[in-house]
Amino acid sequence: MALAPAAGLWERLSRWQQDQVQAAAKTELGRLAGLLQQPETAPRLLAGRLTDRLAETGGEALVSTRYGWLIRRGLVQRQACSDRRCDDGIRLDTGGECENCHNVIHLRRARRAKIAAEVDRELPGLSDHERRRILEDRLREQAALEAENLARRREQAAAEQARRDAARAAAQERAERERAAAAAAEAARQALPCQVCGRDQAAGLCELCDHRRQTETLISEAGLIAATWSADLTDPASVAAVTAAVRTAIGQSIVTAWQEVLQITDVAALEADPEAAEDAYAFAAFQTAQQSVQEHHDHALTMLGRTEEAEAEARRAYKPSRTAPGSSTTRTAQTSSRRRRRRPPTRPGSAPRSTCSRRGWSSYASGRRHAPGGLRPRCGRTGCRNSPPGPLTARQPGRWSREHKAARR
Ligand SMILES: [Zn+2]
Ligand SMILES: [Zn+2]
């Protein structure tokens, strides 16, 4: 469409010339699209330019070298002023007259008048012919000077643009290199085998070993928390007995939790994939231990927190024990709690009282232990022996903590 006005010239070009003209037209269209507010009007604008230039030449018949005319005259922008959107005094983006060209014409007229006044002042009494000659010479000099300035400014602008382009390209390249390096480092990290079991592609520690490790830490933590109120802290054997009891209780809770998992899982699928079964078991154990720590923490606070002050102490004792059992803060809290507590840990004498609401599970359970089907009411209260096993995310407390809760009452 853009080349349609010069169809007559186009037809008589050689194949190679047609390719060249087509490429030049394509480049110019791309450049125009970048300048225009509505890039889709670029072909129309280029067609208009070709029509104008042909009219200027006097029609296709007067074009002597078809290829040269198209490449050097028909298709190229003729910037009449310094505005790069100016084409023969018409603004490419708006289609209106170029304001800058108006200014340039105004400036040229003003300059001509100024130079004429200078000539009259410096060389009075010249003949009309001489005066015009000198005036034209000076105007030409002035124009050459301006053209030189303009060329220099364009050169500078082009150099500046090239510098910006190069900087952008370098930044892009650097960002890409960094991205690739980060991806490679991450891939290498992911590829590391587990340090504990040697499982491949485990990023240094596989999920199974991570869960096992965390479970072990949590069990130790729960034992220490229980010891803060139920053991004689001056007696290592007493502390060891409590931590061992907590470990056993959590171990039993884990067994129960695993049984619950098996009830809701496709056991055949687990048996077929021992690795997945190990993972699932480790996760169930981790969740159970996590919940036990929370329960021991809450319970220890209740036991120690008879007064605000004591509760604050208990918190201080609990916090360091999470990371550094036996740290100085823990020891201080242990010493002061020792002063308060003289009785040995209470052991349950009878089964715990249910904390179910009257209309909750226990009233239902008085008839049948489990509701048929998948819908089973849950009381959601701790210490309820009648409640059916809940999902892993909302597990009941272990036997040990149930006993202690009962002992508190
Ligand atoms: Zn202009
Ligand atoms: Zn591992």
Residues 115-124 pLDDT 10s = 999 999 998 8
Q: pLDDT band for position 338 (50/70/90)?
A: very low
pLDDT tens track for 165-190: 999 999 999 999 999 999 999 999 99
Residue 99 CB: number of other CB atoms within 10 A?
13
Q: Is the pLDDT of residue 364 over 60?
A: no
Question: Average pLDDT for residues 154-174, to the nearest whole number?
Answer: 96
- According to the model, what pLDDT value does residue 250 have? 97
Q: Which ligand is nearest to the CA of 85?
A: 1
Among the bound ligands, name the one nearest to the CA of residue 192: 2
The Å distance, Cα 133 to ligand 2 centre, comes to 97
- Ligand closest to Cα of 82 equals 1
Q: 89 C-alpha to center of ligand 1: Å?
A: 4
Structure tokens at 230: 């139920």
Dist. CA 330–CA 219, nearest whole Å: 18
Say which ligand is closest to the CA of 198.
2
Q: Say if CB 69 and CB 57 are below 8 A apart.
A: yes
Q: What is the pLDDT of residue 234?
A: 93
Which residues have CB less than 5 Å away from ligand 2 (the ion)? 194, 196-197, 199, 206, 209
Mean per-residue pLDDT for 335-355? 38
Proximal ligand: closest to the CA of 203: 2
Q: What is the pLDDT of residue 105?
A: 83
pLDDT of residue 401: 43
Q: Which ligand is nearest to the CA of 197?
A: 2
| Rg of the chain in Å (alpha carbons) | 46
Torsion angle (degrees, nearest 10) of CA 346, 349, 354, 355 = -20
At 309 the pLDDT is 61
Instruction: Give the ligand whose atoms come closest to the C-alpha of residue 88.
Output: 1
Confidence tier at 350 by pLDDT (50, 70, 90):
very low
Structure tokens at 81: 């002023």
Q: What is the mean pLDDT of residues 249-253?
A: 97
The whole-number average pLDDT for the span 66-71 is 93
Looking at all shown ligands, the one closest to residue 99's CA atom is 1
Ligand 2 center from residue 207 Cα (angstroms)? 7
Distance in Å, CA 84 to ligand 1 centroid: 8
204 C-alpha vs ligand 2 centroid, how far in Å?
8
Ligand 2 centroid to Cα of residue 397, in Å, is: 28
Report residue 97: phi and psi, to 5°: -70, 150
**Separation of 40 CA from ligand 1 center, angstroms?**
23
Q: How many other β-carbons are positioned within 10 Å of the β-carbon of residue 50?
A: 21
Q: In the prediction, which pLDDT does 380 show?
A: 35
Residue 366, pLDDT score? 33
For the cut 70, the answer to whether the pLDDT of residue 53 exceeds it is yes
The pair of three-digit structure tokens given for residue 189, joined into one six-digit string: 């990290």
- Using the structure block, give the residue that is written with the tokens 């023969």: 88
Question: Cβ atoms within 10 A of the Cβ of 377, count?
Answer: 16
Q: What's the 92 CA to ligand 1 centre distance in angstroms?
A: 10
- Contact yes or no for 196/270 (Cβ under 8 A): no
* Å from CA of 278 to ligand 2 middle: 11
Give the start-to-end residue ranges of the domains of the chain: 4-76, 102-188, 208-345, 351-409
If you measure from the C-alpha of residue 158 to the centroid of ligand 2, how many angstroms do you get, rounded to a whole number? Answer: 60
| Mean pLDDT for the chain overall | 79
7 versus 308: which is more confidently predicted? 7
pLDDT at residue 407, rounded to an integer:
45
